Chain A
Amino acid sequence: RKEVEQDPGPFNVPEGATVAFNCTYSNSASQSFFWYRQDCRKEPKLLMSVYSSGNEDGRFTAQLNRASQYISLLIRDSKLSDSATYLCVVKYRGGGADGLTFGKGTHLIIQP
């Protein structure tokens, strides 16, 4: 089975700091990459897709490194409301059962 690995954390970060975490994937036949955030007892919400050239959305920057098979998420000027679990999702080519794989998530706690 194709694997997606994340450091579960928790990452305890003071408000206003910059935090980054990575997600590694095991198979190079990957097609699409995403970051989701999930708050406690809520559904996952799409944070951003990750593009080959990297992309930014406000305080959030996502990068893809195909050579080393990882994606990263950088959060600048962290807010208390950024506290959540961040899930990395990889979509592999084709429609097989391994086509969509979730990482176990990284738990982020922003402290006042």
Chain B
Amino acid sequence: DTEVTQTPKHLVMGMTNKKSLKCEQHMGHRAMYWYKQKAKKPPELMFVYSYEKLSINESVPSRFSPECPNSSLLNLHLHALQPEDSALYLCASSQDWTSGGHEQYFGPGTRLTVT
């Protein structure tokens, strides 16, 4: 099973709302990722978790707050977002981050619209 699931599929939120995106994988992968993707652009790496610890934060604004409750779950908490944060948010996982096994498997994404 190479499935990564994400919920919700679509999310519309106002600039004062607080919401969370959820991601789950059951492949035993120890690295999980959040990406942001705008139309006609490649995915931009936001965060990397390795063994449930935050390894990479790509200078992401604090209105995005990641959380890794356990090795299968990854959340992204959203607060006070701006309209320019509207994008497709992709979660991915891979076997590991620093050593081998870097094939990433992506979830279907959450399409976020900030109004």
User: In the complex, which residue of chain B has the Cβ closest to the Cβ of A105?
Assistant: B42
Within 8 A of B (CB), among A20-50: 31-32, 34, 41-46, 49
* A67 interface hit (Cβ, 8 Å): no
The answer to whether the Cβ of A112 comes within 8 Å of any Cβ in the partner chain is no
Please count how many residues in chain B sit with their CB below 8 Å of the partner chain's CB atoms: 22
Q: Is B105 an interface residue (CB 8 A)?
A: yes
| A58 sits at the interface (CB 8 A) | no
Do residues A46 and B103 form an inter-chain contact, with CB atoms below 8 A? Answer: yes
Report B-chain residues with C-beta under 8 Å of the C-beta of A49. 103
A67 to B104, CA, bound (A): 26
B109 lies within 8 A of A102 (CB): no
Complex Cα spacing A104 to B41, Å: 6
Give per-residue flags for A58-89: 1 if the beta carbon is below 8 A from chain B beta carbons, else 0: 00000000000000000000000000000101
Contact flag A44-B58 (CB < 8 Å), given A34-B102, A49-B103, A95-B50: no
Q: Complex: how many Å from CA A94 to CA B100?
A: 10
Report B58-95 residues with CB < 8 Å from chain A CB: 58, 88, 90
Cα(A49)–Cα(B105), bound, Å = 12
Residue in chain A with minimal CB distance to B6: A43
Give the chain B neighbours of A34 by CB distance below 8 A: 102-104
Residue ranges of B at the interface with A (Cβ–Cβ < 8 Å): 41-43, 45, 48, 50, 55-56, 58, 88, 90, 97-98, 100, 102-109
Q: Apart from A46-B103, A100-B45, what 7 extra A-B contacts exist at CB < 8 Å?
A: A32-B100, A44-B104, A49-B103, A94-B98, A95-B50, A95-B97, A104-B42
Q: Which residues of A contact B (CB under 8 A)?
A: 31-32, 34, 41-46, 49, 87, 89, 91, 94-97, 99-100, 102-105
